[in-house]
Amino acid sequence: MDLREALSRGEFSLHYQPLISLDNGEISGFEALLRWTHPDRGDIPPGDFIGIAEETGLIGPIGRFVLERACRDAAGWPGDLKIAVNLSPAQFRSYDILASVVHALDVSGLSPSRLDLEITESLLMDKSEAALSTLRALRHLGVGISMDDFGTGYSSLSYLRAFPFTKIKIDKSFIKDLHSSPDSQAIVRAIVSLGNNLGMRVIAEGIENPDDLAFLMEAGCGEGQGYLFSVPKPLKDIAGLIAGAPAT
Ligand code: C2E
Ligand code: CA
Ligand code: CA
Ligand code: CA
């Protein structure tokens, strides 16, 4: 895979998927999702190349591109709309992620309170002091930290206490099974009340139908994301969605 060439040729872009506040149905922000448009092979999904980018070290420059592009785009949006950016654990291990975030905020002029960084449990599993102090420094800047794919790893509960999370994202595997699995329903209810009681925002990803949305609202989940609301779209195609968002 020509990942290095892809970056210099400008073949990477970001798509944005709205995050919906379930209290009022309004858009609270967008998640940035990386896309690679290969000249011969067409669109390649991130699952097919993020792992290779991590192994080859290219996640450093690619991650910096994502942070800067997302912050610059979000700086042009009205009101308090937030931008959520995915970070790979490898970006914490070998790169100065703090400097990259500071740089992206600096060049974009985006307020730190409008940036949410999404990380997965795998970052925390080695219980690294370095990762913890980096997360604390990021929180100190004023950016939010979300635990992505919550419920899919190990010992999630102890991580919630040890790390400075502001938001929990319930993994879409639980949402997918909601209609058929009483166990998934119980787990989702438990995660929502846990997050609410810990003072964190809780968002469910992968909402595809109105029944699942109704269940989540009834359970007290604060935010949602999924094809029911919108698929991820290029910047130019979300202008209509943003125009309908509340401006402050
Ligand atoms: P993720 O962070 O869990 O992102 C959510 C994934 O679910 C996205 O897949 C999104 O398109 C998809 N999705 C959203 N709504 C629905 C729905 O209603 N149903 C279903 N079935 N899927 C839905 P995508 O864009 O293919 O991204 C896959 C993964 O790649 C992401 O999972 C994230 O882990 C990673 N990724 C994406 N962009 C970046 C990036 O800029 N940096 C890093 N490090 N990882 C990224
Ligand atoms: Ca994510
Ligand atoms: Ca996720
Ligand atoms: Ca995921």
Residue in this structure with the two tokens 């970006």, named with its chain if needed: 91
Count up the domains in the chain and report the number: 1
Average pLDDT over residues 166-174: 95
Closest to 16 (Cα-Cα) out of 246, 229, 199, 248: 229
pTM, 2 dp: 0.96
Instruction: Check pocket membership of 67 for ligand 1, CB cut-off 6 A.
Output: no
At 208, which CATH number?
A: 3.20.20.450
Encoded tokens for 59 = 């996640």
Atom of ligand 1 nearest to the CA of 149: 3
Question: Residue 217 and residue 18: Cα distance in Å, rounded?
Answer: 17
Q: What is the distance in angstroms between the CA of the first residue and the CA of the last residue of the chain? A: 44
Question: Residue 7 and residue 66: Cα distance in Å, rounded?
Answer: 11
Note the pLDDT tens digit of each residue in 80-96: 899 999 999 889 887 78
Residue 239: pLDDT band with limits 50, 70, 90: confident
What is the distance in A from the centroid of ligand 4 to the CA of 247? 31
- Determine which residue's CA is closest to atom 45 belonging to ligand 1: 86
* DSSP-derived secondary structure letter, 218: H
* DSSP-derived secondary structure letter, 136: H
Residue 244 lies in a domain: no
What is the distance in A from the centroid of ligand 1 to the CA of 33? 6
Residue 9 lies in a domain: yes
Predicted pLDDT at 247: 45
pLDDT over 70 for what percent of the chain? 96
Question: Residue 54 and residue 88: Cα distance in Å, rounded?
Answer: 8
Predicted pLDDT at 153: 77
Residue 248 lies in a domain: no
- Determine which residue's CA is closest to atom 17 belonging to ligand 1: 206
What is the distance in A from the centroid of ligand 3 to the CA of 205? 7
Residue 198 phi, psi dihedral angles, 5° rounding: -85, 0
Beta-carbon contacts of 90 under 8 Å, excluding residues fewer than 6 positions away, are 54, 59
Atom of ligand 1 nearest to the CA of 34: 38
Per the model's pLDDT, the better-predicted residue between 129 and 105 turns out to be: 105
- Determine which residue's CA is closest to atom 25 belonging to ligand 1: 33
Residue 243 lies in a domain: no
Residue 212 lies in a domain: yes
Residue 242 lies in a domain: no
Q: Is the pLDDT at 207 greater than 50, yes or no?
A: yes
Closest to 245 (Cα-Cα) out of 23, 25, 17, 14: 25
Q: Which ligand is nearest to the CA of 49?
A: 1
Encoded tokens for 100 = 């990259």
Question: Residue 3 and residue 73: Cα distance in Å, rounded?
Answer: 23
* DSSP-derived secondary structure letter, 246: P
Residue 36 lies in a domain: yes
Question: Residue 121 and residue 155: Cα distance in Å, rounded?
Answer: 9
Instruction: Check pocket membership of 33 for ligand 1, CB cut-off 6 A.
Output: yes
Instruction: Check pocket membership of 45 for ligand 1, CB cut-off 6 A.
Output: yes
Mean pLDDT of all residues in the chain? 92
Type of residue numbered 57: G
Please tell me whether the interface predicted TM-score (ipTM) of this complex is above 0.85: yes
The residue range of the domain holding 187 is 3-235
Residue 101 lies in a domain: yes
